[in-house]
Chain A
Amino acid sequence: MAETEATPPTSSSPGWLARALDSDIWYSFCRSPLTIASAVLTLLFFLGAAFAPLIAPFNPFDLASIDIMDASLPPFWQDGGDGRFWLGTDDQGRDMWSTIIFGARVSLFVGFASVIFSIIMGVGLGLISGYVGGRLDALIMRIADIQLSFPAILIALLIDGVARSVLPRAMHEELAFYVLIFAIGISGWVQYARTVRGSTLVEKNKEYVQAARVIGIGPTVILLRHILPNVMGPVLVIATIHLAIAIITEATLSFLGVGVPPTTPSLGTLIRVGNDFLFSGEWWITIFPGIALVLLVLAINLLGDWLRDALNPKLR
């Protein structure tokens, strides 16, 4: 047999798309209408967030397009509603529909960024903890235990407060985003670290890791090339559910007034602002962002639940 080509016959091994369509996960996905619905909803939110300037009828941050005369208009189906503003306007005359789209964008961005932060920190520490073991392992896990005894929101509040008192006032607005991402991210790393540590303890004793050591490969490469891909399954599941939690945490912090600056409102900020008007009859300012938040978090959570079950061989 003479084969010199770098790409041997593909017939024996189908491409990634064909394999994905043939996989058990895709099969289980197609059989669950609820999952498909949540996936579609999540996708719509993502697309809306990504293309917010194209989709939203108004730019709520463009002061030139806001007219204070349009303030506090109800949704269009109510008396006094305006056809231009489907879901009404807020106290400054901004279109609610547009602010929700832009708000979801901020919420999703902060959620994603803090989840990625948590994953990098948690997975990294978990791998080291599980692979090295001994005192380092004990140290990392005790820190994790201590942190677990505080509610996540408290830690986020604490970090936010510390950052506010340490950083100069002028930088608050500018750095608020990063402080928020850091605060939410650091409150979530423990779960990843514990899960990854557990899987690493199992994987490192498997013979393929020993085979790599016999070849002479160093610990860093073994961790990154061999162990990391084999412990990422559960991390994916946690990340999906954690994304929903991170969005809620962000909304809570913004609701409490320590989140993103009001100039770039997230869904949480919108709810807080609207909360003040709830009793004066302008319910739409808070209810619509609230519904958007509930739908987004519910869809992501359902997706995460399905993923957890689909990846669990015992439930298949």
Chain B
Amino acid sequence: MSLLDIKDMRVEFPSRRGHVVAVHSLTLNVEPGEILGVVGESGAGKSTIGNAVIGLLEPPGEMTAGEVYLKGERIDTLDDAEKRRIRGARIGMIFQDPLTSLDPLQTIERQLVDTIQMHLDMDQTKARARAVELLDAVGIPDPDVRIEQYPHQFSGGMRQRVVIALALCADPELIIADEPTTALDVSVQAQILDLMKGLCRDRNVGMILITHDMGVIAETADRVCVMYRGRVMETGKTEQIMGTPNHDYTKSLISAVPRPERRLHRFPLVTYIEDATELGDSFDLSTHWLGQSREYEGEGGDLLQADNLHMRFVTRHSFFAKHRLYLDAVDDVSFKIKTGEVFGLVGESGSGKSTVARMITGIYTPTGGTIRFAGTDLTALKTRKEAAPWRRQMQMIFQDPFSSLNGRMRVRDIIAEPIYFHNMASSKEEAIQIVHDLLEVVGLGAAAAQKFPHEFSGGQRQRISIARALATRPRFLLCDEPTSALDVSIQAQVLNLLKDLQQELGLTMLFISHDLPVIRQICDRVGVMRHGKLLEVAEAEALFEDPQHDYTKHLLDLMPKFVGFRELTV
């Protein structure tokens, strides 16, 4: 008898246009002390499994078939009150975002003690003692002091530890962890994963670890269940799935994960998933409008030179100067980007890398330092009119494909806007033609022009963003985490597209990412940032093989050592 047995589970979401089946006849089991990884891309139905097991499906979703047994006892047919008794007491939950899974208005003590008392028969002092013990177990220093603090006094990683302690309150037999480390930086992620592994082993708790990240699975799970569009593709021991996967989907999914240990010419393409065309041979970009008449002088040398950049934000406003608080988001950063190279900026969240990009593009005005672009000091330009010709030559691709396109405009108008603004087409027909060509170039096809952004998936929207950025025929492209919101398979396609365009059009690129393997695949030179300072700049290969700065070494150590199946690599 397993700890958890799911037999033939089917979950449906009825909607106006027929039923959406989120999970098709799923059968799986979890043993005590075992970590079962459920991996898949967005829309695979992995979170739905967790919610269905604990009876928290979002209405109108419902489990229409199948059985769920916890230690041989059927739990899916229980009524709401009985299910509530199981949640927390026998099944614990850990959610993705530690910022929102704790009540900001209550101390950690209140939240832990309340939960303990709800499920276990304990008085106040005993419950508190247990809470302190739990905080100690999840690795929070000075637990008896910190227990009296509020969630905002903890960092993201510490908060996730508190969430884990909360899940452990009533000694559950099973824990469901839904993307527990996705919102955390790599250095914190590694610690949290170690912690969860240890807890499961020591307390003999079974865990379902739901994630999209192959690296997390490889490091943590005992067994893996690979899902695709609501169906289980393959289940097996982690080493077997990672090393010798049987199913084509698993193979392509694994090979799409960027390799940290070696630089490849191109990303392996995942054929199984979203259909979008690669940049075909049909377009000879060098003779096309996009490649033509770029009217740039002074080729070679440095295209961009940033000197002593400084950006200070006011974090507390006050009438009196001495009462104001400041944050130095970027502090004395200097670097050069050569014409035609891809320069990477890497760092954890809050390191100031996005702020640098926003200063270069003029969204923020730096509080100090100069930015020279093709020999012109951009910080000295005062009016928008003066800056316009330079704005045209640098464009940006943003992180979130769902907010970077104006939902009220058709794709055609979104892409045509910069063309009209900079008077780059002689007639409306020419502009429309350019838009259609751009859509072809990014692999969407001209028919996309008539549609609205919400009709596209995340990866397709990112292609639209790229088309818009190319519409001004820029020679400098800034990419701010362009793929971190995308699934790995889509990430591979978008990165390939960027790489192709960069080479075909001779673009210079600033590529910002927190993802070291991606940086290694795409960048020529890399700068490492931390707390607003630029610590090290080096050739990409040199940086990865022989890091100089301690922090860089630390980051590289934390990079998931994901060495799996590599048959499909090119």
Contact = CB atoms under 8 A, between A and B. Distances in A.
Interface of A: 1, 3-4, 6, 8-10, 12-13, 24, 27, 206-208, 210-218, 226, 229-230
A218 B405 contact: no
B363 A207 contact: no
B446 A215 contact: no
A215 B391 contact: yes
Contacts of A226: 406
22 contacts: A3-B436, A8-B436, A8-B449, A12-B447, A12-B450, A13-B451, A24-B16, A206-B404, A207-B400, A210-B396, A211-B396, A211-B404, A211-B468, A213-B361, A214-B361, A214-B394, A215-B417, A216-B387, A216-B388, A216-B421, A216-B422, A229-B406
Interface residues of B, number: 42
B433 interface: yes
Contacts of A211: 396, 398, 404-405, 465, 468
Nearest to B406: A208
A210 B408 contact: no
A227 to B, nearest CB: 9
B375 interface: no
B432 interface: yes
Interface of B: 16, 358, 361-363, 384, 387-388, 391-392, 394-396, 398-400, 403-409, 417-418, 421-422, 428-429, 432-433, 436, 440, 445-447, 449-451, 465, 468, 472
Given A1-B445, A216-B392, 10 more contacts: A3-B446, A9-B450, A12-B447, A13-B450, A207-B403, A210-B404, A214-B391, A215-B391, A216-B422, A229-B409
Interface centre among B400, B403, B433 (most CB of A within 10 A): B403
B445 to A, nearest CB: 8
Given A3-B436, A214-B363, A9 B447 contact: yes
A213 B432 contact: no
Contacts of B429: 4, 6
A214 B405 CA distance: 13
Nearest to A7: B450
Contacts of B404: 206-208, 210-211
8 residue pairs, one from A and one from B, having the closest CB atoms? A216-B391, A207-B404, A207-B398, A229-B408, A13-B450, A206-B403, A215-B418, A208-B406
Contacts of B468: 211
A208 B461 CA distance: 12
A180 to B, nearest CB: 35
B432 A6 contact: yes
A12 B447 CA distance: 7
Contacts of B422: 215-216
A223 B433 CA distance: 28
B511 to A, nearest CB: 16
A85 to B, nearest CB: 50
A27 B17 CA distance: 12
B473 to A, nearest CB: 12
Contacts of B449: 8
Given A1-B440, A3-B436, A8-B446, A214 B408 contact: no
A210 B363 contact: yes
Contacts of A214: 361-363, 391, 394-396
Contacts of B362: 213-214
Contacts of B398: 207, 210-211
Contacts of B392: 215-216
Contacts of A9: 447, 450
Contact of B405 (A8, A208, A215): A208
Contacts of A229: 406, 408-409
B408 A230 contact: yes
B408 A6 contact: no
Contact of A4 (B403, B428, B433): B433
B432 A12 contact: no
A290 B392 CA distance: 62
B417 A212 contact: yes
Nearest to A12: B447
A285 to B, nearest CB: 50
B356 to A, nearest CB: 14
A8 B417 contact: no
Contacts of A13: 450-451
A206 B363 CA distance: 12
B449 to A, nearest CB: 6
A211 B406 CA distance: 10
Contacts of A218: 384
Nearest to A13: B450
Nearest to B419: A215
A234 to B, nearest CB: 14
Contacts of B428: 6
A213 to B, nearest CB: 6
Contacts of A10: 450
B398 to A, nearest CB: 4
Contact of A208 (B391, B395, B403): B403
A212 B388 CA distance: 12
Interface-central residue, A6, A10, A208, A214, by most chain B CB under 10 Å: A214
A37 B437 CA distance: 50
A1 B283 CA distance: 11
Contacts of A230: 406-408
Contacts of A206: 403-404
Nearest to B388: A216
B471 to A, nearest CB: 9
A300 B39 CA distance: 51
B315 to A, nearest CB: 16
A96 to B, nearest CB: 47
A1 to B, nearest CB: 6
A215 B408 contact: no
A29 to B, nearest CB: 13
A62 B257 CA distance: 83
Contacts of B361: 213-214
Contacts of B405: 208, 211
Nearest to A213: B363
Given A3-B436, A210-B396, A230-B406, A12 B384 contact: no
B402 to A, nearest CB: 9
B567 to A, nearest CB: 35
Contacts of A207: 398-400, 403-404
Contacts of B436: 3, 8
Contact of A8 (B363, B387, B408, B450): B450
Nearest to A208: B406
Given A215-B417, A230-B408, A1 B403 contact: no
A8 B436 CA distance: 10
Name the residue among B399, B406, B449, B451 with the largest chain A CB count within 10 angstroms. Answer: B406
Contacts of A8: 436, 446-447, 449-450
B437 to A, nearest CB: 10
Nearest to B471: A215
Contact of B472 (A3, A208, A212, A215): A215
B384 A216 contact: yes
Contact of B446 (A1, A210, A213, A217): A1
A3 B449 CA distance: 12
A207 B440 CA distance: 24
